């Protein structure tokens, strides 16, 4: 490929434990990639900048930059703190100006959002939610998070959705477990994230036999989340990823329990005969994070060009 022929976009997946930096094109193809451990902000940001400058020197100038960040983050463009990490237990990162430090040296349009909103954008643009302009991307791993797109745009508001911290109704086999969320105890994340499974059963899901009640408990809580999303956000599709969801047996169990919780109240084929196309696995796999950042860059460029 002749570098003069491409529009190059920068992508930074800013994670709490690792940064993934990449450059790619508007079709979601990654051309260069660099990943490294997240340390304190100054050194971490410097390494990301060095990668992007190197890619520019080798290929061409970056047309736009996208940053998909761990949270909580300030997404209100009217706020003087827009683009900053908010109060976080991660040492040194509270109030870090991620957007300013990364984007200002390049002087190009920049998109900034949560890692899960970015992953939702990428699944909509290039993955399992193509064509579903209102959708939710749920990740179930060490925590539970979700990105929400409405009419193709990530949903923001007071802050951004934190769907992992909604409260499910207790499963009848799970009355006594106190949950692991440091804020709420038995919110959804506290009851159904990977560490919750380990705390309740002493093992991860893949180590438990199929008939173990933990499978039903997990599927039930995640189905309740989906049911609540259906009646609040009315998504056209729900994409479910993350380490816990890599257990493929879980997805059909969640679909079954979702139908039980909805009780036929919403009469649409998407929630009955076609439910296997409604609750789906990610199409981008482990790349959804960095491709999420790339999709924010492409969107920022589109917005600038009108
Ligand atoms: Zn919580």
User: How far apart are the CA of 188 and the centre of ligand 1, in A?
Assistant: 7
Whether residues 235 and 262 share a domain: the answer is: yes
Whether residues 146 and 111 share a domain: the answer is: no
The model carries a pTM of 0.94
pLDDT of residue 4: 53
Whether residues 108 and 168 share a domain: the answer is: no
User: How far apart are the CA of 24 and the centre of ligand 1, in A?
Assistant: 36
pLDDT of residue 286: 85
User: How far apart are the CA of 180 and the centre of ligand 1, in A?
Assistant: 8
User: How far apart are the CA of 242 and the centre of ligand 1, in A?
Assistant: 18
User: How far apart are the CA of 192 and the centre of ligand 1, in A?
Assistant: 11
Q: Does residue 188 form part of some domain?
A: yes
Q: Does residue 3 form part of some domain?
A: no
Q: Does residue 31 form part of some domain?
A: yes
pLDDT of residue 28: 97
Residue 35 sits in which domain range? 8-115+286-305
Whether residues 80 and 94 share a domain: the answer is: yes
User: How far apart are the CA of 168 and the centre of ligand 1, in A?
Assistant: 11
Residue ranges, the chain, pLDDT below 50: 1, 3
Whether residues 94 and 164 share a domain: the answer is: no
Residue 167 burial (10 A CB sphere; 0-12, 13-18, 19+) = middle
pLDDT of residue 147: 96
Number of domains in the chain: 2
User: How far apart are the CA of 166 and the centre of ligand 1, in A?
Assistant: 7
User: How far apart are the CA of 191 and the centre of ligand 1, in A?
Assistant: 9
Whether residues 102 and 246 share a domain: the answer is: no
Here the CATH number for the domain that contains residue 67 is 3.30.420.40
Q: Does residue 123 form part of some domain?
A: no
Whether residues 97 and 143 share a domain: the answer is: no
Whether residues 133 and 275 share a domain: the answer is: yes
Whether residues 236 and 293 share a domain: the answer is: no
d(CA 203, CA 210): 13
Q: Does residue 242 form part of some domain?
A: yes
Q: Does residue 30 form part of some domain?
A: yes
Q: Do the beta carbons of residue 294 and residue 24 sit within 8 Å?
A: yes
pLDDT of residue 5: 62
Whether residues 102 and 206 share a domain: the answer is: no
**Which of 59, 6, 51, 7 has its CA nearest to residue 33?**
51
Whether residues 51 and 154 share a domain: the answer is: no
pLDDT of residue 119: 97
User: How far apart are the CA of 164 and the centre of ligand 1, in A?
Assistant: 7
User: How far apart are the CA of 158 and the centre of ligand 1, in A?
Assistant: 18
Q: Does residue 1 form part of some domain?
A: no
pLDDT of residue 69: 96
């Amino acid at each position: 490929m002749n570098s003069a022929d491409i529009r190059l976009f920068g992508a930074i997946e800013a994670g709490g434990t690792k940064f993934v930096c990449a450059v790619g094109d508007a079709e979601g193809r990654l051309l260069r990639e660099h990943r490294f451990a997240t340390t304190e902000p100054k050194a971490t940001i410097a390494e990301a900048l060095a990668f992007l400058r190197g890619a520019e020197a080798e290929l061409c100038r970056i047309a736009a930059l996208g940053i998909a960040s761990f949270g909580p983050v300030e997404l209100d463009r009217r706020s003087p703190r827009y683009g900053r990490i908010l109060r976080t237990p991660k040492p040194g990162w509270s109030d870090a100006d991620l957007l300013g430090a990364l984007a200002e040296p390049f002087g190009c349009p920049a998109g900034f959002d949560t890692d899960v909103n970015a992953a939702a954008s990428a699944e909509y643009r290039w993955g399992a939610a193509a064509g579903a302009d209102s959708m939710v991307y749920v990740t179930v791993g060490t925590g539970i998070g979700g990105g929400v797109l409405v009419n193709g745009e990530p949903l923001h508001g007071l802050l951004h959705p934190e769907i992992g911290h909604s409260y499910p109704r207790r499963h009848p086999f799970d009355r006594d477990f106190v949950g692991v969320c440091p804020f709420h105890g038995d919110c959804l994340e506290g009851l159904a994230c990977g560490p919750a499974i380990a705390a309740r059963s002493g093992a991860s899901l893949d180590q438990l036999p199929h008939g173990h009640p933990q499978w039903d408990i997990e599927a039930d809580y995640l189905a309740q989340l989906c049911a609540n999303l259906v009646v609040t956000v009315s998504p056209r599709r729900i994409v479910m990823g993350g380490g816990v969801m890599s257990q493929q047996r879980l997805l059909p169990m969640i679909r079954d329990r979702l139908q039980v919780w909805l009780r036929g109240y919403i009469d649409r084929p998407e929630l009955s005969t076609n439910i296997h196309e409604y609750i789906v696995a990610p199409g981008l796999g482990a790349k959804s994070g960095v491709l999420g950042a790339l999709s924010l860059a492409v969107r920022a460029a589109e917005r600038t060009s009108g």
